[in-house]
Chains A and B, each alone.
Chain A
Amino acid sequence: MAAITDRQRLAYANAQAADGRVNLEFETDEGMTLNMGPQHPATHGTLRIVVKLDGEQVLSCEPVMGYMHRGYEKLTEVRTYPQVTTLINRIDWLGSFANEVPFILAAERLMEIEAPPRAQWIRTALFELSRIANISLFVGDMALHIGAMTAAFYAFRDREFVLNQIEAATGGRFHPNFDRIGGLKDDLPKGWIADTKAAMERIRDFCDEMEILVEGNEIFEARTRGIGVIPAEVAMQFGLTGANLRASGVDWDLRRDEPVGLAWNEVDWNVITHPDGDSFARFWVRLQEIRESTRIVDQLLDGLPAGPYMAKVPRIIKVPEGEAWVATENPLGEMGYYVVSQGGLGPFRVKIRTASFNNVSVVPWVCRGVYVPDVITILASLYFILGDIDR
């Protein structure tokens, strides 16, 4: 074995010192500090969680964010309205189309124009397709964090059928940039409806497969039942939304209760809730929601109205003065844009309220007293996308 050179020894000492500096701010006299991330596989990106431990038990934990902060709220201020949609595609990158919709709706509300029915129905269908693509990956991912590798491969395989349909309609798998103020960029391509219905059939099979694989599995149940319970009051205090809120027994879905001009109320579907509020409930609610989404898409495509896909809008888009808030039920939860316009080509200020930011803010509360491996399942079941936290 070769002798260690002075240089190597120095490099090692430097690395140790750097580690020490990183931990410095969190060191106290009690407990042991454990860094999870920023490169931990369970963090979907670069979230770092500093956990203070007493043996195996978590005394406190503190998420550290900002590794992926891109400053979209500042960047939107120097762009025109049509340019902003390109940016906001990248917030929740697994369900990109859904990010565009609330912003476009807010701009339309300020301009007092409305997209024609056909555009709204296609918007809703694409919105649900991005939800299916996003959440089917979650289902596999959640199983992966508990140690079931196979489910993740199935999820990636079947998600591809949905992404293909999104690509066929919009031209982009991940960043469609397809929504326009007043309608859509283009109509649906020929044969798309039949292909999409076939893909929906496939996704329903995927849901059945997942239920057989994962639910009822003894290990899965032991790791998720009764772990990370969030009562409804706490969930509302922290502003949790989406499946995380519905898994705590709150019957609330913006798609049903405030559909802001989209076509959800035209079709028949159910809001799924679960009374338990634990990790299993969050997993189960999401899995059932994929099924409901496939039903929504099928019905939307059956009843798709004919007509134009674009309203009459000026070629140069100037949004009149005013303020508008529009929120929709995105795959991860409620996403809203507070748009302030001063009559220019671009927005004056855009506050982006993302679901993951609020959903993850409950982590310090829910992780107190759990064991180290449960931190992973709780994080996985809360389901966040780093781009959606950091914006």
Chain B
Amino acid sequence: MSSPEAPATEEAEAPVTDEVREEVLAELREDLGDAIVGTHIVPGQDLWVRVTKDAWQQAGFALRDGAGFKMFEFVSAIDWLPSPWGKSEDSPTDEVVETEPAEIVTGYAGGDTRFQVFARAHSQTRKMGVTLKVDVPEDDFSLPTWIPVFAGANWHERETREMFGIDFVGHPHLVNIYLPGEFEGHPLRKDFPLLARHVKPWPGIVDIEPMPGDESEEGEEG
């Protein structure tokens, strides 16, 4: 294995500064005003914006036309409920320890409801993307469709509808995309059990038990 020493190459160009994302945020605020209820910036990495439900479609247009994020990435949802079935991380031979159900903890840009829809668009001129989030309350479980904003949202919304049960108002053909038509339940909700794990507990967890003689968990990779 003889390989010549690499030419001294510093870490590729200077990281994108925070100001770029602040600028995008300011532009969005100008268009949307009070509709923005939460934001989060990880400097040099990403921007999250949470909008109100009423402004969901408007936020899409503001992002596409106002701020110039013309490339569509995806629409999907998150169920923030801590899984009532645990993470199947326990060894099947261990005794089951009853724990109290954990609180709902939402991620970046906050949130008030169990379900959130999030979507992402990309700008080729700014060379960055934005993640939009919106709360979907369970008593009014619907959102306006994003098809007028990005035609590609069509299939993503069908997938989100079948996996989480969220209704997209104005979608022309909201039928199941992956699951059979008569399928009951919404598989990506946290309270939908993964039956394979209930029939046979996962043995793989044994692999990450500490090795005998290991004092601390933080042993280093050899």
Interface residues of A (CB under 8 A from B): 25, 65-66, 69, 71, 73-75, 77-80, 83, 109, 117, 121, 182, 187-188, 190, 193, 234, 236-239, 250, 252, 257-259, 265-266, 301-306, 310, 312-316, 322-325, 327, 334, 336, 338, 340, 342, 344-346, 349, 351, 353, 357-358, 361-362, 365, 390
Contact = CB atoms under 8 A, between A and B. Distances in A.
A358 B72 contact: yes
B131 A325 contact: yes
A349 B78 contact: yes
B97 interface: no
Contact of A344 (B1, B6, B87, B214): B87
B88 A323 contact: no
Contact of B219 (A83, A109, A314, A353): A314
B90 to A, nearest CB: 11
B178 A390 contact: yes
23 contacts: A74-B192, A77-B83, A77-B194, A78-B194, A78-B202, A187-B1, A252-B71, A257-B127, A301-B3, A303-B7, A322-B108, A323-B108, A334-B73, A336-B74, A338-B74, A338-B120, A346-B87, A349-B79, A351-B76, A358-B72, A361-B154, A362-B152, A365-B151
B31 to A, nearest CB: 20
Given A193-B3, A325-B120, A336 B12 contact: no
A315 B3 contact: no
Contacts of B221: 182, 310, 312-315
Interface in B145-194: 150-152, 154-156, 163, 176-181, 187-188, 192, 194
A238 B153 CA distance: 7
B204 interface: yes
B217 interface: yes
B107 A237 contact: no
Contact of A188 (B1, B152, B178, B220): B1
A323 B48 contact: yes
Given A78-B87, A80-B208, 19 more contacts: A66-B180, A74-B187, A74-B192, A193-B3, A237-B150, A239-B73, A239-B152, A303-B4, A310-B221, A312-B221, A315-B218, A315-B219, A315-B220, A316-B219, A324-B46, A338-B131, A346-B89, A357-B155, A390-B178
Nearest to B162: A66
B53 interface: no
A258 B188 contact: no
Contacts of A362: 152
Counting from the closest, the 9 A-B pairs by CB-CB distance are A305-B6, A66-B178, A239-B72, A238-B152, A69-B178, A239-B152, A304-B3, A315-B219, A237-B151
